Structure 1
Amino acid sequence: MATNEDLIKIFEYALNQEKTGKGFFEYSLQRMGYGAAVNAFKRLIEEEEKHILFISKILENLKNQQPFNASELKPEVLEPTNYFDERARSEFLQQCVEGSMVPDVTVFNTAWLIEKDLSEFYEKMAAQTEGEAREALSMLSKWEKGHEKFFREYRDKISEVYSRMPWGG
């Protein structure tokens, strides 16, 4: 059973990781040249801000020796969304081909790894805790899995496009 101090350490680590992810997405916006990717990253930054708020409120309660209810905090957190509809997805991939967006492949791969690591961390910590902490960590894992899926899909699609390009003329 995790002690209050253990939970504080877990959620402090989570908070730092969420802030790091948000910082990466903000930095990556500078490298993106197309509207669809920029808009998706802006939405992800908004979601990361909500995750930061969610974790901060949990930490505040833990540090004050107060109970918290993860479900009551949940409405403040955005659920993962479909960042692009089918038409926007198709247009985005076409822009990748036309613009040779090599940096975006790297950005999407790095973003996928960040989200994958976070979802795995939350899942592992949820298995080691109980009660409201487990519920909160399970929610965070689910949200990060949505982000992970988004980035994996685009990383795979962009990589596939590049693997079929006629390089060298």
Structure 2
Amino acid sequence: MKKYEQIMRYAMQMELDGCTFFKEKAEKFNNATTRKLFLNLAEVEMEHFYFIKEQLDEYLETDSFNIELEGFNRDENNIFESREKSEHIAETLKESDIPDLTILRMAYLIERDYAEFYRKAADNADDEIAKAIFEKLAKWEDGHEKLFKSEYDRRMKEYMNLPWGG
């Protein structure tokens, strides 16, 4: 097994697990907006999966990755922030009717774990391109975590300030 193969395979599984999580949770909501948000996030996780798979396939075939570092790290605004703005994800969450804080908490903790995994992989990578790939993946997951954590905090504050008895 090549040096980065196991890490990349584990990363692919994490992204599939994230996709499954969002799809399963989407089915629990009656609110169409919330359901669509979670299904969109499942698609984002699959985009990550295919990106990692493409890199793994290239690495296994050529013993290198298929990324031009100059262009890859040029835009420090991560892809998720751009997508969040274009799809108004934050507003969608605020307007949606998510009664279960547990799902939001689970979502941000999962994304935090994924980002931490990628940061550790980057710290241990001695290949410059592998390091850049893992750092970019960590930033993408940080964007997911930030979205869910801020909404969780907002919802928890609202919940804690409800008058007793509803």
TM range (shorter): 0.7 to 0.9
Q: Which runs of 5+ in 2 are unaligned?
A: 73-77
Match of 1:149 among 146, 151, 159: 146
CA distance change for structure 1 residues 146 and 62 in 2, over 3 Å: closer, same or farther? same
CA distance in structure 2 between the partners assigned to 1:71 and 1:37 by the alignment: 37
CA distance in structure 2 between the partners assigned to 1:28 and 1:161 by the alignment: 22
Q: Which runs of 5+ in 1 are unaligned?
A: none
Mapping for residues 7-156 of structure 1, pairs under 5 Å: 7-71=4-68, 79-80=79-80, 81-82=83-84, 84=88, 88-92=92-96, 95-96=97-98, 101=99, 103=100, 105-129=101-125, 130-156=127-153
Matched residues, number: 155
Cα deviation, residue 32, structure 1: 1.7
CA distance in structure 2 between the partners assigned to 1:138 and 1:120 by the alignment: 10
CA distance in structure 2 between the partners assigned to 1:85 and 1:47 by the alignment: 13
SS in structure 2 of the partner of residue 32 of structure 1: coil
- Does structure 1 conserve the Cα–Cα contact (< 8 Å) formed by 2:37 and 2:89? no
Cα deviation, residue 117, structure 1: 0.4
RMSD over aligned Cα atoms: 2.3
- Does structure 1 conserve the Cα–Cα contact (< 8 Å) formed by 2:108 and 2:148? yes
Q: Which amino acid aligns with 1:23?
A: T
CA distance in structure 1 between the partners assigned to 2:19 and 2:150 by the alignment: 20
Identical columns (%): 29
SS in structure 2 of the partner of residue 158 of structure 1: helix
Q: Work out which structure has the larger RCO, using CA pairs closer than 8 Å and 6 or more positions apart in sequence.
A: 1
